[in-house]
Structure 1
Amino acid sequence: MGLSKSFHLVLLIVFGLLFYRIYTIENNQVRIQGDAARQHFAEYVEKYSYWTGNGDDLFKTFSRDYDFQFFQYVHNSDSIHNFTYGSLAKTNQSFADTVFNIDLGYSFTFPDGRMQVKLNPIAAIENSLYKLEQVTQLLILAYVILMLLFTILILVHKRRIKYAAQYIDNISTLSFQAVEISRLRGVLKPLGNALEKCRSKLKESLEIIRVENEKLTKEAYQDPITGFSTRHRFNAYLEKITQSQKNLFGTLVVIKASELSNMNQLYGRIAGDNYLAKLSDCIRNAAPRQAKPEHFRISSSDFAVFLDGVSIKESTNYIEKLKQQFDDYTQSFQQDSVAHIGVVPYQSDNDPITLLAMIDSAVSIAQTLGPNRYHYLEKFDGNETFGDEHWKLTINDIINRRGVNFFQQPILPCNTDNNLYRELLARFHNAEDKHLPTASVIAMSERYGLSIELDKMIITSTLQLMKENPLLTGKLGVNISATSALQAVFVYWLKEILTHHRTEASRLVFEVNESGMQTNLAASFNFVSEIHKVGAKVAVERFGLGFTSFKFFREVRPDYIKLDNSYSNSIESDNNNKFFVRMIVDIAKRLNILVLATGVERQDEKLTLEKLLVDGLQGYYIAKPDSVINTD
């Protein structure tokens, strides 16, 4: 039952009980008055107790002072003196008779007859009936007034509750207007206070969520090192341009941080991050003031810049300024090169895939031209393949000239008396003796099927280096691609040449990437077996990134496994990496395989890895690559 109906019922009961009480009081009062009227009439009749006349005269005498409803006189002997007036039961009963039912009958015996009367009750109940009518009117009026007031209060209450309900509904739309406390007064004040408190708390919580969401969005779509947007936003921006109905145009510039892998290897990850951050500063500083270029980091070593509304010709100043920034950084960096630049025009109707192929070719050609060089590809006429041919020519030239230099980086033994080896790091240069990015040369050689010839050149250069430099003692590690190691023709060639250089072969350790060797376990096992036959050894580098690592080194059985440098990074606080390294060391020792940790850049990492019983440590904290040795 609702509040309104309940209140109506309670009010009705209260007023009903009140009316009943008043009626009871007045009814008792009427009966008292009736008894008094009978008593007074009896005293009056006593005055005529010796009446001997007829009934009619007696009625007339009494009627002067009393009003009768019924009067009857019956003579004892002569009926002629009888008289009757009215009736005992009223034929037309009034409302007053119904409300107050009193008996005013009286009988008396005279000497000659007997009298029976019933006085008219009007006189006895008139006053009480008037009072009851007045009280009833007041009760009805009070009831009506109370109901009107209650109805008004209910309407006001409903409007307040409706306001509260609407406010609660608006919360789902994240509307946080202040609660109008004045509209929620009285008994609804706690509700208003609760809503205000809820609004404040919810707004505060959502603000925290918003800040966290912005932080996550920033982490997801903004590179933390450079502050540039990520690849995801680059793809979205490129799609917006190429699918636009407007006639958009501009220049796309891609900068490849071609020395990133060398920086990580030579100076460590922190130096690599600083290198990328410095490059991003150079890119920002070169931006024209009148333009607002969009900057993106589209891969670990690639940056992209959209110069909207800028033609190739107009972009020249920006490119020259950017190259000057890179040249200045190169001098302070004390390196041959820091980055290479590719430039292509774009329009809104360009195919994104073709555009990306063009820019990739432009960057590839720039890399073959020398340090910090740039290259333009201005037309979409198929000349994007020119970059491929340029790389093929460049790599063939490197192979024919033996255009390679070597750095060496030692591996520190720990928990063992074994002398390990020093890794030789290849660095390539073109015909103008300009430095070329090592990672790009190796990647392009694999893309164009020149990796075997490049690896042969590196191995023959290494053998020549060992013969011509007697001071270069101990074991040396040489990197070769997994593509070459898995080719039977290369393995046969390598075995033949090492057979003729047994002394040098016993000092060589061939480092091969794990992910490449896992593609063919049988060929990997054959490579290791053939290398062991000529006295050389095999190290599997970047170990631990593949899903089949345990199966791999259980079946292939290399001499060394070099853990990927990600396992060394902050290992003192990474329990997962600790567990993995401990497990690898335990299994490797059972198989007589030495475990080497790479990328060691801090003392805490070194101490933790030593406690985990690895056999060797390599990294910037242990020793920097140095002693550039020319083989020309």
Structure 2
Amino acid sequence: MGINQKEPVMPKSNHKGISLKVQLYGLIILLTLLSFAGRLLISVDHTRDYLNEQMASHSQDAATSLGLSISPYMDDQNLVIADTMMAAIFDSGYYQSMKFVDINGVVKLNRENPKSVESVPAWFMHLFELTPPTGSSEVNDGWQIAGTLYVTSHPGVSYLQLWDYSIRAFSGSLAILAASLLFAYLILRMVLKPISTITAQADAVTKKQFIQNETFYWTKEVNVLALAINAMISNVQKTFESMTQHAETLTQDAYLDKLTKLGNRRAFESQFSAFQHDLEGHTDVYSIGLMTLPSLQSMNRDFGYQSGDDYVVQAVSILKSAIHDIEGAKVFRTAGGSFIFMLPCSIELCLEHVQQAYETLHAQNSSRYPEGFGQLVVTGFTHHDSISHLLSRLDTLITAETAQLGSGFNSDTFQSAAFEQGPALGLQDWSALIKDIIASGEIEFSFQPIKAANSINIIYNELFARFNHQGNLIANAQLFAMAERLNLTEELDKKLILALWSHIQNGLDKPIALNISRQSLHSDSFVTWLNDFMQDKQGQLDNLYFEVNETALIDNINSATAHINVFKSHGIKMCIERFGVSFSSFKYLRGLDIDFIKLDGSYIRDLMQNPDNNYFIQAVTQICHGLGIKVIACHVEDIESYKSVTELHCDACQGQFIQAPMKLSHDCLKSECNDFLNTLKYLKDC
């Protein structure tokens, strides 16, 4: 058996150093080459010595034999005979020189051959030089010494023999070298393959994937290592699941309605506060609605609580189905038969969805529901509206709706806020407007830093974009809501990335985070475009971060995981924002290769008034730190919140207390602004 889960696609490795595989192969190749070269050199050198000895014996034997043969002919009259005999022997053998010198040092006889050898390369003769010794023999003339005969063997034959032997030795040694390297490769492959598998297993843990390796290996030490890694991963997985379950229990007890799995009254108040914070400084208009079930009490009394529960679940299903396509829509159960929903867009943009829910609820009216199946009202709000004021307005609207029960759709049921909501455009008008913005609209950027806890270091800066069309700023909530409906958010995201690239070309060298939409996160065409763009700008966008909304991510976790792996392969760091807002299981973190999670602002803004948030944040930080994920606390607005999130081991902070969003300008491209530096110095002392 092998690893019981498909190994993930690995992004580009950032590990420094030389791999064990390269080191071992390098060592074996080096030792084998040294052995090959040493063996060859020693063998050739030994042969050279042998040939030198052969030439010494050959020359000495020739000198002795020829000396005895020419001794009777040393007088001047017979010296010609001696010369003839020397020539005969010189020509019959392979000698470099033969020379007879009399006792007075006069050369009487002399024969020589050229030293060159055509069949042997000059570099070889230079490298393995043969030194043929000269044999000598005294020649007698009767009882007197006539002179000395010197004979030197020619090295040509020996060079040729040495060259032939070297070629055969090289060929044989090369064959042995190749066979040895092949054998070493097979052995090392068997040894290193399990190590590669274990390494991939360990890398998978850093990507929040817990893979068990059931393979048995022949190497004892590798088996011990594999078992140790399996045990470690099993323990990490158990810890993760235990802490995840604990965090989910805390969330459900504090913020979830057990029947509908919707957020409760406490969750609504926290989320509304976060909604209002997002609206500060903007003219965007959001919508808030109330759905009531007037017949719930009679259903419980006449048909039992199970029927009442079924009634509640059916109504919630109708409402959620109607507003499902509105990104960022939230539904809460604030009381037994009362449900509040918030939509991040104006009434004009969500009217069709709300009217669908209204009509579907009224279509369920029958004698089974004496007070009607359900009533629904909606109104707009900005950051100026208080929660109590809005609830009173909704109560008034629902009272009027109850009084008109059965009268059908009434425009008073849907109230626009009494303030400017931007242009009232139709679908075609919005399509033309958004396409014009994509083609030629200008973008104004502001940024807000994410500061490391207990440090003045900035991890990265989050960019906020506002689109300027013909001199007018377009409300982001309406713009992106309509772009989502028209399938144009992907093009808006591309425009943001291109605009950021122009800032980078002008000197922006800080780590920057962009928010990408749900559509882009799950779009294959966007990922393909981004892949080509990053390859074209390779090495110039090393400080890019992407933030994705949690609700967008969990819509299709498989698609998100695959695309995040592509982003990571280009060095883009990933952050999940609004973490915890969906009240879903945290187990989806297990398969995601992400670097940061950003807690939803509702947990931080309500931190001092709601101690339960402390336990939730503490559980989240422990889970994330166990997975190598850093936790960011946003909406940090005062010194108390800053100290609290630091004590809860959050890794970084963001909010007005750290620094309000600043316009992205040339002064802030390469160095932080002076007021921000003063803030960081102050925080360091806190």
Could you state the TM-score of these two structures normalised by the residue count of structure 1? 0.42
Larger radius of gyration: 1
